[in-house]
Amino acid sequence: MKSTIYTTIGASNHFDTTREEHDFYATFPEAIDRLFEVEKFPDTIWEPACGMGHLSKRMIELGKEVYSTDLINRGYGTDGVDFLKATENPYGAIITNPPYKIALEFIEKALDISGEGTKIAMFLKLTFLEGKRRKPFFQTNPPRKIHVFSSRAVVAKGGDFTAA
């Protein structure tokens, strides 16, 4: 097992009967503040599912150099970048709210392309830790830390926080 550090952070559940296309649920930017209160990160961070830039913009405001990419063009960062096809992590730490349907693949890829000691933080709901499909992965790749915040991180379907 690599000594890479990755963290799972609890986020809100979605009770919608229909999921957002491409599983796009933006995380309220202040979730970064909560994360940075409990974890230290290097100055350079990759946000590989940046969406509309909610997390990236907040990290930049907090003095980080952020490389924002996404497969889908949502008007922020570099679009057309398929994180799951990346062969290296040239940017340092990884912080993202991955599409839930492929979150395990995001974690596996982040671990695969990152060097020893690289910090990786994924905003995920706690139920992600459950399930037969993910059990073998967690047996060989247990999270180093799991941060559960006393209030859920707000997420917005399609990035619309006015409806959240």
Q: Where do the structural domains in the chain lie, given as residue ranges?
A: 5-12+21-157
pLDDT at 159: 47
Q: What pTM does this model have?
A: 0.79
Q: Quick one: average pLDDT of 108-120?
A: 96
How confident is the model over 41-78, as pLDDT tens digits? 999 999 999 999 999 999 999 999 999 999 999 899 99
| CATH architecture of the domain covering 5-12+21-157 | 3-Layer(aba) Sandwich (3.40)
Residues in the chain: 164
Joined together, the tokens standing for residue 154 give 């707000």
**Mean pLDDT along residues 127-154:** 86
Confidence (pLDDT) at 29: 87
